[in-house]
Amino acid sequence: MKIIFILLSTILNFMPLSVNYVNANERPSVNLGSVDLELGMPKKIVLEYLEKQFMEIKMISSNNKNEMNNNFLVIDKYSKNEIGQIIFKNEKIVYISKNWGHFENNEKAFDFVNTLFSAFRNTMEKDTINAVISTNVYSQPTYESKRIEFVFGSFKVLVIFVDGSGDTVDIQQILQDYQNYP
């Protein structure tokens, strides 16, 4: 179940709403390890701070002159896991990515992604443009139900995973008339 939750988090990380928005007055940030990073932060300060927080910074070579000395992998010094990537332009952060997980030869993870992909692809083919994403957690003493809802106009893709006794994951595509359905 934890693999599926991490996998879903990975998918959400690449969607536009995956950035942390606390409120309209705060700037969006991405957390790498224990460091909150924002677009526009100065390169020198960011690299120094990441190194102090037990991160290894590895420059990625590039044939692109604009990316030379400006493209970095962020790696945990102890686990050696790649945490993310940062790209700078004019000595300021212009790109931040965070890795939520990596899965190899995991049939359940691949089945989950294929199912989710099919639900999205089928829904997106219906000429919808914008999506609204919402989450909800319902906790009980013996289980926790987590729900992610992706609404595309009248279409909805619903992912529900129950963590507890009898772990389950359900993915549904729903077409709903919101004006006439209670």
pLDDT per residue over 45-100, tens digit each? 999 989 888 778 888 876 666 556 788 989 988 888 888 888 888 899 898 988 87
- Count the domains in the chain: 2
Residue 2 within any structural domain of the chain: no
Say if residue 94 is in the same domain as residue 114.
no
Beta bridge partners of 76: 55
Q: Are residues 129 and 168 in the same domain?
A: yes
- Mean pLDDT within 114-134: 74
Q: Are residues 93 and 125 in the same domain?
A: no
Tell whether 94 and 112 lie within a shared domain: no
Q: Residue 113: inside a domain, yes or no?
A: yes
Q: Is the Cβ–Cβ distance between 181 and 174 less than 8 Å?
A: no
Instruction: Judge if 94 and 122 occupy the same domain.
Output: no
Q: Are residues 168 and 120 in the same domain?
A: yes
Shared-domain flag, residues 21 and 92: yes
What is the pTM (predicted TM-score) of this model? Answer: 0.58
Q: Are residues 63 and 125 in the same domain?
A: no
129 and 56 in a single domain? The answer is no
Q: Is 72 exposed, middle or buried (0-12, 13-18, 19+ CB in 10 A)?
A: buried
* Residue 52 burial (CB count, 10 A): 9
Tell whether 123 is covered by a domain: yes
Domain that holds residue 88: 16-98
pLDDT at 44: 93
Task: Tell me which of 44, 66, 98 is where a domain ends.
Answer: 98
Tokens (6 digits) for 169: 């994951």
In whole angstroms, give the CA distance from residue 84 to residue 74.
Answer: 5
Do residues 46 and 117 share a domain?
Answer: no
In angstroms, what is the C-alpha Rg of the chain?
A: 19
CA distance 170 to 161: 6
Q: In this structure, is residue 91 part of a structural domain?
A: yes
Residue type, 180: N
Asked whether residue 4 is domain-assigned, the answer is: no
Say what the pLDDT of residue 26 is.
66
Query: Does residue 92 lie within any of the structural domains?
Result: yes
181 in a structural domain: no
Query: Would residue 80 count as lying in a domain?
Result: yes
